[in-house]
Structure formats: C-alpha cells, structure tokens
Amino acid sequence: MSKHAYIFPGQGSQFTGMGKNLYENNMLAKELFEQANDILKFRISDIMFNGTEADLKQTNVTQPAVFLHSIIAFKTIENAKPDMVAGHSLGEFSALVANNTLRFEDALQLVSIRANAMQKACEVNPSTMAAVIALADEKVEEICAAIQQETNEVVVAANYNCPGQLVISGSIKAIEIACEKMKAAGAKRALVLPVGGAFHSPLMALAKDELATAIEATNFQTPVCPVYQNVVATAVSDAATIKQNLITQLTGAVKWSQSVQAMVADGATHFTEVGPGKVLQGLVQKIYKEAITDGVS
C-alpha cells in the first residue's frame, strides 16, 4: 500500500511576507501566530510579514519563523493524516509536532532555545559551510578527514541533501582548503554558503549542552506515526530515542538523502512539503524520480 509522507523544510527557506496569507485568511492561523508572539516575547509575525531579508536571516528569527510557517500551514490542512514524517535539520521539530510527539508550545520554546544557543556558538567559533556539487559522498568524506588530520581544523560532511549535493561544515580556514581540494578532485562546484556558522558539526557542541538540558526537561509523547530522523535515517517511534536523536542532530550530519530512501523503502510514494519554499520537493525528485510531490504553504 502506498504511503503519504509529510516533510518539513529547515533554515534557508524563509522569505519576506511568509505566513501573511495564512494570518489574514485563517482564524486558527491568526490565533497560533499571536500565541507564538506571546511565547517568544516579541512580535515575530511582524518580522515575518514585513521584515527585510537581513532581519529574517538572524538565526534567532529564522528558525522560529520557518517552524511557525510550517506548523501553522500543517494545522490548516483538512484531515492531514501522515503515514510518516521527516524534517530537514530545524524541520525535524515541525515533523515532531505534526506526528504529535511534541506540543506546539513546547516545540516553539525548544526551537527558540536552539536558535539562540546556535547563534552564541557561531559567535564563539567563527565558522561556515560550503556546498559540494557532483562529487561522490565517499570522496568528500575522505578529503574532509585528510584536512582534519593535516590541519587539526574541523571540517565534516554535514548535509547529505541528494545524490551529487553534499554540504560540508567547519572552520573558515578548513572550508577554504576543502573547497580547493574538492574542485581539484573533480567537483563541479564547491561554494561557500552565506551562513553564520558550522551547523551540524562538532563546532556546535557549545549549543548542544544547552539544547540537551531543555529537551530532557520537555515532555515527548509516543507519536501517531514514525519520524525518519536526520542522524539515523530510519523510522523512529520511541519517545526517548527521538529525544536522544534530536540532541545528537545539532552536531551530527543531516542524512536527508538516506532518510528519503528509507521512507521510499517503507512504502512512501507521495511527499507533501509543508512550509515555506519548495527545496525539499526538488531534493525528493532527485533522490526518487517516481515520487509524487506537492507543497502546502
């Protein structure tokens, strides 16, 4: 039997005006936005609807904004009954609300704590990420490992987005060296991304402790359907395991390609991306050409 997967985007899919249509045309959406403004103690809805690109790029705004847009869009879908869920990085929090592991309010608090902790970690360790295009995953991993050994600088594979697209993460120096070596090894492109830090790398360890404390103190329920978590790329339904994987995710790789392959192996044929942008739909198509994809935003 074919299954319907709901997938949720991460940081990078934000845009000015996001969620405004939902706020203006849906009573439930308006209530949730106002509830979020109260929880966060600032009017994030104003920044989402009218802020500049620079306003939206601040991690402490971006992450709650993308989460909010995704979850409010999800809650306005009539009779949404996912057979499975997954989220890309930050999107995993949205996925955990969609499958009833987390309450909306608790997830928003965690996302806010995560964003602020990551912002602090970025300030302590200036670092960045780069996209490597058209080079085998194994080759990218091998080059990263060699650079770490030679320089003692951090550089690791961070986001396995789809075949031929892997994002690496690390210190500014190591990323610069890696980009040169990736191109020399035959990568079509190796390009530094406009991000403020080395997400999904050991350089986020500082943020991990703070997030771990908050996650441990939060109630996680048994989900109504499995979540395919970034760090393990398999179906998880045990609340305690979900917690642990969510903590590990901050310094661990996002195995998106492997997660989609696992969902397909478990019967997924239809993938609905919920939230801003269409990035994940594009990635799913590259991972599994026969997939039916659509979006709700």
As annotated, the active-site residues are 89, 200
Question: If DSSP codes are grouped into helix, strand and coil, which group holds residue 55?
Answer: helix
Torsion of CA 289, 290, 296, 297, to 10 degrees: 10
Q: Do residues 82 and 4 make contact, with C-beta atoms less than 8 angstroms apart?
A: yes
The DSSP call for residue 160 is: E
* Structure tokens given for 48: 């989402």
Distances (CA, A) of 91 to 6, 126, 182, 269, 274: 11, 24, 28, 20, 10
Q: Between β-strands 235-236 and 227-228, what pairing exists: parallel, antiparallel or unpaired?
A: antiparallel
The C-alpha atoms of residue 198 and residue 121 are separated, in whole angstroms, by 9
Question: If DSSP codes are grouped into helix, strand and coil, which group holds residue 50?
Answer: helix
